[in-house]
Structure 1
Amino acid sequence: MFESDLCPAEELKDERGILKQKRDRTCISSVISKQFLFIKQAKTFSDAQVYCRQFHGDLASVEDTADFSRLQAVVSGVTDPGVWIGLKRGELHWIWSLSDRAFYREGEAEYRRWKAGQLDNAGGHENCGALDSNGEFWDVPCTNQFPFICYDGNVPQRYVYVSAGKSWSDAQTLCRQTHTDLVSVRNLDENQQLQNLVHGTPVFIGLYKDAFRWTDNSSSMIRHWSVGEPDGSGACVLHSLSNTWSDENCDQTRPFICEDGVKMQILRMKLRSGQNMDDPVMKVSVVQKIQQKLMSLGMPTDAKLQWRVQSDGEIFLPLEKDMNSQK
C-alpha cells in the first residue's frame, strides 16, 4: 500500500462544523493497456479466433476512440479489402446510439425505465426505443415516423427537440449530421428533463436493439458500419480499408487482427477525503488526477484506468475494514 497526494483528505466534523478527525479510506484501481496485431495469414473467423486465443488474447475489440485509432494504424498499408475483428452476431440486446463509453458514468449506459407491459416486441419488429410524456420507455418499430430528441455536446442547450416525424434511422442520421447523436437517457435527472420536452406523441431516443457482441465479452457499444450495413450477409464482422465495418459470411478466409491479452496492474492506495467518494463525479475526478500523475511517471498515454469493484459492490473501503480483511 502507498499513500497518494492525489487523494483529497476526508474530514469528519461535528454538528457545529468543527473538525473531529480525519478518516482514511482505501481504493483499488487497475491500469489496462491493449495492443493490436495484424495477422497476415488468411483464416475463417472461427479459426482466426482460435489462433488469437492461443497465441495472444482474442480477436480485436474496440472499446473507445483510442482503440479505433490503434486499429486504423495497425491496418495502415494493408492491401486486403477486409480483416476480421472480434464482433459477431448473437442475441439482440439494447444499447445506445451514442457509443463513447466516456460519456457514461458507472451504470449509466444500462439505465432503463420501461413502461409496464413494454418489451413485448409486438409484431416481432419493435427494435427501437421511444420516450413518452411520463418519461417511460417504449419498444417500437424503427420504421415508425416519430418526432425525436438529439443530443448536442457542443452547446449549452444540450437537448434539441425535432418535431418532424422520421424513422429511427433517419432521425439518427440527422442528429449525427447536425448535432452529436440521438439522445441517451443516462439517469433519472436526465429522464425528467427530457420528459418535459415530450408532448403527446412519443419521441425516438438513441436506444435500439443490436445483434452483435464482442468475442472477448467487452460491453463496448462502438459500431462503425458502412452505409447499408449490417445487411444480413453473415454473422461475422470485417474491418475494411475505408475503416468501416460490414457483416460477412464467417467461412470466408481473411487476415485478422488480434489483441494482446490485457495487461493489468493493480494499484492500491490510501485516500483521505472530505468529499463523498461514492459520488460518480468524484470517482471520475479522482481517476483523472491519478491518471495524470501516473502518466507523468511514465505510464503509457493509451493505458486505461478504471475502478475495481469489490465483491460487495463497493469501490472504497474504510481503512479499519480494510485492515481487518487482511488479518
Structure 2
Amino acid sequence: MKSQCPMNSLLGVMSCKKHLILLLTCYVVVEGKQFRSDYTFHSAIDGWLKFHYVPGTWQDAHQRCYMEGAVLASPVNAAMQYALRLEINNSSKDCAGIYVGVHSIFSKGYFYSSEGVPLSKMPLQWLPGEPNNAGNNEDCIVYLDGSVADVNCSEVHPFVCFKKAAENMSVMPCGTIDKEYKFVADTGSCYKFHKNQVIWSDAFKVCSAEGGYLAIINSKEEAAIMKDLFNKQYPNGPRSYITLIGFHDWHKDGVWRTVHGQTLKEAGYAVWEIGQPDNAGYQEYCGAMFSNAKLDDFWCDKVARFLCEKDPNSLQD
C-alpha cells in the first residue's frame, strides 16, 4: 500500500463524507475508566479502542485483542472509521495501514468482519489495483482512511482493538471486568487459574495481556494461599496436577529466576518438591508448581494449566 499517515484533515473528511457532519458536532472522547486505562472511550461507538504500536501478523493481532477482552476493530460504519482515524492520528506513529478484523480466511474471497458484517456492506473503497489476491494468498485486510487492500495474513502491521460497552459491565475489585480474578488481602494481589492448557510462553502472553504476569510465590505464606486457591479451584484434582507459574531457567545454567528477574531465593520462596528440579530429558527449563505449591521444573514446549497474578491497579490509573 502506498498511502501513508498522517491522515487527511478533518475538513477533507467532512467534505467527502457529508453524512459524518452531524456526528462530528457531538462526538466526545473521554478516557475509559470502566474497562482499562490503556483503552480510550469513544462515545459515538459506545466503546473503547486501543492502538497497538508493535506490529504483528493478523493472527497475532486477533489473538492479542481477544486476550485483552476485546476484538480486532473493523471499520463497519462511518462512526467506527472516524474513531479509528482518531486512534491512528493520536498514535504518533507513521503507518501505511492497520490490520482490521475483516478477513476471508474461512472462505476465499468472502470477506467478513469479526462481527459477521460483510465487507460489501461497509462504507469503504478498494485502493487502486486492489483486491489482487497476490499469489492466491491474500485473505486479510489492511485499512487506511476509508480505503482497504487485501494482504497476506503473515505480513506484520499495527492494529486497533475494540471493546463494546455492555450492560452490567463494571470493574471488579481486581481492577478488571474479568470476574475470575480473586483478590487476596494477605498478599495484596489478585489471582486467576486458567483451566485451558498452553505452553509456558503462551501462558506468559495471556497473563501479560490481562494486565498481570505468571504468578510469583514470594513467601511460604503466599505458597499456603496458592495451595488453598488450588484446592478450591480443583477440589477433586490429583496431587500431580501441574500449574505453570512465573519462573524459568532461561539461560539453562541452573539459576532459576522469576519473570521479574529475581532468583527464587531473592524472591522469597525456593521450596522444590522432593526430587525436583530433575531436568527430565534435559529439556525442563520452565517453572511450575504442584498442587501443594512446591516447585517443579517443566518442559517449555508441553502444555499445562497456569496461574496469573496481577496488581489490582495494573489496568487502572
State the TM-score bracket (shorter-chain normalisation): 0.3 to 0.5
Q: Which one has more relative contact order, counting CA pairs under 8 Å at least 6 apart?
A: 1
Q: What TM-score do the two structures reach when normalised by structure 2?
A: 0.34
Q: What TM-score do the two structures reach when normalised by structure 1?
A: 0.33
Kindly indicate which of the two structures has a greater share of residues assigned to strand.
1
